[in-house]
């Protein structure tokens, strides 16, 4: 089997590592390969014997399975970019956190080109699970792809033959998960500024004793600072998912704005050198909250 990864960020690199460890031939393409930020991607690909392609079309040429793992806003654009190069009958697994409507549009493009589109919904953070991350599949070809993926080491289950069901499950979950992340960052940073963080945490622990709020807050800060841009795009897709059923996405939209705001601070170097992945590794969320407050708190 030959597999193409479109998107060679965190998710793409994890999949590349795990698939290559199983002896699967892997090609990849990422827009960053055409930028000044390509060196880390090239070094990683060389270390794991992943073949980097010069374009979308070259990456997918002749492969059996394409995995699209890009930012949410690019889900449909990737389907358009690879459609002409797909082998007839090749599977296209859309790993992206996009709305049901976006997935349905992407499916129309891929299927019209002779591919077999399957939506995928990653149901939790990928790094701890790696290729075994819980994955919901959807669409008419989901049942055919599921055993193929599981033979490759995935943990895939069919959610529905109807497109949009798997994505709706993921999107509605993200209202809560990414929203909680944004709320903790806002609440704990403000509490730190007012000097009441210990009291707030004690009160939360009394209400939700099963959660280690200190550890959870540090994790939330780390993930949001490092991946805020990707999260903000996902939350805009979440907002669209809510909007598609006639609800105003007040919570989802606010979460998207908070994540984008944090990403802007990270891109500006607040948590370390611009582009560095060394920031947000403190075991204490207070370190990152203090950096934020030093930037935004009004001067006396």
Of 52, 97, 55, nearest to 74 by C-alpha is 97
**Residue with the two structure tokens 């949009």:** 164
Give the DSSP H or E segment for 67.
strand 65-68
248 and 120 both lie in a single domain: no
pTM of the model: 0.85
Rounded to whole angstroms, the Cα distance separating 240 from 238 reads: 5
Picking from 138, 162, 186, the residue at the C-terminal end of a domain is 162
Picking from 162, 194, 210, the residue at the C-terminal end of a domain is 162
28 and 173 both lie in a single domain: no
Tokens describing residue 185:
């960052």
Q: What range does the domain containing 103 cover?
A: 2-162
99 and 125 both lie in a single domain: yes
What pLDDT, on the 0 to 100 scale, is given for residue 279?
A: 43
The sign of the CA dihedral 61, 109, 15, 162 is: negative
224 and 121 both lie in a single domain: no
Q: State phi, psi for 27 to the nearest 5 degrees.
A: -115, 160
What pLDDT, on the 0 to 100 scale, is given for residue 277?
A: 44
Other CB atoms closer than 10 Å to residue 296's CB: what's the count? Answer: 12
173 and 156 both lie in a single domain: no
120 and 202 both lie in a single domain: no
87 and 188 both lie in a single domain: no
The sign of the CA dihedral 133, 227, 37, 78 is: positive
Beta strands in the chain (DSSP E): 2-6, 25-29, 51-52, 65-68, 91-94, 116-122, 134-138, 155-160
Query: SS3 of 22, please?
Result: coil
Picking from 147, 162, 177, the residue at the C-terminal end of a domain is 162
Rounded to whole angstroms, the Cα distance separating 111 from 88 reads: 9
Cβ atoms 109, 90 nearer than 8 A:
no
68 and 204 both lie in a single domain: no
246 and 178 both lie in a single domain: yes
What pLDDT, on the 0 to 100 scale, is given for residue 300?
A: 62
Tokens describing residue 6:
């479109």
Rounded to whole angstroms, the Cα distance separating 50 from 53 reads: 10
Q: State phi, psi for 284 to the nearest 5 degrees.
A: -120, 115
Tokens describing residue 3:
């597999």
Instruction: Report the alpha-carbon angle 191-197-198, nearest 5.
Output: 165
102 and 121 both lie in a single domain: yes
The CATH code of the domain that includes 67 is 3.40.50.720
91 DSSP β-pair partners: 65, 116
Total domain count, the chain: 2
Strand duo 116-122 + 134-138: pairing: antiparallel
The CATH code of the domain that includes 184 is 1.10.1040.10
Other CB atoms closer than 10 Å to residue 272's CB: what's the count? Answer: 15
103 and 36 both lie in a single domain: yes
Rounded to whole angstroms, the Cα distance separating 139 from 159 reads: 9
267 and 280 both lie in a single domain: yes
Tokens describing residue 4:
């193409």
Rounded to whole angstroms, the Cα distance separating 121 from 94 reads: 8
pLDDT in tens, the chain (300 residues): 999 999 999 999 999 999 999 999 999 999 999 988 899 999 999 999 999 999 999 999 999 999 999 988 899 999 999 998 999 999 999 999 999 999 999 999 999 999 999 999 999 989 899 999 999 999 999 999 999 999 999 999 999 999 999 999 999 999 999 999 999 999 999 999 999 999 999 999 999 999 999 999 999 999 898 888 989 999 999 999 999 999 999 999 999 999 999 999 988 887 765 444 444 456 789 999 999 999 998 776
Strand duo 51-52 + 65-68: pairing: unpaired
């Amino acid at each position: 089997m030959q597999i193409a990864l479109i998107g060679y960020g965190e998710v793409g690199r994890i999949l590349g590592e795990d698939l290559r460890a199983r002896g699967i031939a892997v090609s990849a393409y990422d827009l960053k390969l055409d930028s000044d930020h390509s060196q880390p991607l090239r070094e990683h690909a060389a270390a794991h014997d992943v073949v980097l392609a010069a374009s979308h079309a070259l990456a997918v040429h002749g492969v059996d399975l394409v995995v699209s793992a890009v930012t949410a806003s690019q889900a449909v654009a990737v389907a358009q970019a690879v459609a002409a190069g797909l082998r007839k009958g090749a599977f296209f697994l859309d790993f992206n956190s996009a709305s049901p409507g976006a997935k349905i549009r992407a499916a129309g493009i891929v299927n019209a080109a002779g591919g077999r589109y399957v939506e995928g919904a990653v149901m939790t953070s990928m790094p701890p699970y790696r290729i075994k991350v819980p994955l919901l599949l959807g669409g008419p070809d989901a049942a055919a792809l599921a055993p193929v993926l599981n033979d490759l080491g995935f943990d895939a289950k069919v959610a529905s033959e109807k497109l949009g069901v798997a994505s709706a499950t993921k999107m509605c979950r993200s209202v809560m998960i990414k929203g909680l992340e944004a709320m903790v960052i806002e609440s704990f940073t403000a509490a730190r500024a007012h000097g009441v963080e210990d009291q707030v945490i004690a009160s939360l622990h009394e209400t939700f004793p099963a959660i280690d709020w200190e550890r959870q807050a540090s994790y939330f800060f780390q993930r949001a600072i490092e991946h805020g841009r990707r999260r903000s795009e996902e939350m805009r897709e979440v907002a669209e998912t809510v909007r598609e059923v006639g609800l105003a996405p007040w919570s989802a939209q606010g979460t998207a704005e908070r994540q984008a705001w944090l990403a802007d601070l990270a891109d500006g170097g607040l948590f370390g050198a611009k582009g560095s992945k060394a920031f947000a590794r403190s075991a204490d969320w207070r370190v990152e909250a203090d950096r934020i407050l030093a930037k935004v708190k009004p001067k006396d």
